[in-house]
Amino acid sequence: DWTPDSFIEETVEFIKEKVGSDKVVLGLSGGVDSTVAAVLLNKAIGKNLYCIFVNNGLLRKNEFENVLNQYEGMGLNVKGVDASGRFLEALKGIEDPELKRKAIGNAFIEVFDDEAHKIEDVTWLAQGTIYPDVIESVSATGGPSATIKSHHNVGGLPDFMKLKIVEPLRAIFKDEVRRVGRSLGIDPELLGRHPFPGPGLGIRILGDITAEKVRILQEVDHIFIKGLKEWGLYDDVWQAGAMLLPVNSVGVMGDERTYEKCVALRAVESTDGMTADWVNLPYEFLQKISNDIINKVKGVNRVVYDISSKPPATIEWE
Ligand code: XMP
Angle between helices 174-183 and 4-19 (to 10 degrees): 90
CA of 10 relative to ligand 1 center, distance in Å: 31
Domain ranges of the chain: 4-191, 204-305
What are the tens digits of pLDDT across the range 220-271?
999 999 999 999 999 999 999 999 999 999 999 889 999 999 999 999 999 9
Distances (CA, A) of 97 to 92, 244, 309: 13, 14, 21
Query: Whose alpha carbon is nearest atom 4 of ligand 1?
Result: 315
The CB density around residue 313, as the number of other CB atoms within 10 Å, is 15
Q: Kindly state if the Cβ of 27 falls inside 6 Å of ligand 1.
A: no
Q: Tell me what ipTM this predicted complex has.
A: 0.99
| Residue 187, C-beta contacts closer than 8 angstroms, at least 6 positions apart | 70
User: Using a 6 Å cutoff on CB, does residue 30 contact ligand 1?
Assistant: no
CA-closest residue to ligand 1 atom 6: 273
Q: Do domains 4-191 and 204-305 have the same CATH topology?
A: no
Q: Are 59 and 201 in contact (CB under 8 A)?
A: yes
Mutate to test the pocket of ligand 1, among 238, 315, 317 (most ligand atoms within 8 A of CB): 315
Question: What is 204-305's CATH number?
Answer: 3.30.300.10
Query: d(Cα 287, Cα 183) in Å, to the nearest integer?
Result: 39
List, for residues 11-45, the tens digit of each pLDDT value. 999 999 999 999 999 999 999 999 999 999 999 99
What's the mean pLDDT when you consider all of the chain?
Answer: 93
CATH C-level class of 4-191 = alpha beta
Ligand 1 binding pocket mutation candidate from 54, 59, 101, 141 (most atoms within 8 A of CB): 141
Residue 195 Cβ < 6 Å to ligand 1: yes
**Percent of the chain clearing pLDDT 90 (strictly above):** 89
Our answer on whether the CB atom of 146 is closer than 6 Å to any ligand 1 atom is: yes
Q: Is the CB of 239 under 6 A from ligand 1?
A: yes
- Cα distance between residue 23 and residue 126, in whole Å: 10
CA distances from 35 to 52, 180, 193, 236 (A): 11, 11, 12, 23
* Mean predicted confidence (pLDDT) in 79-100: 98
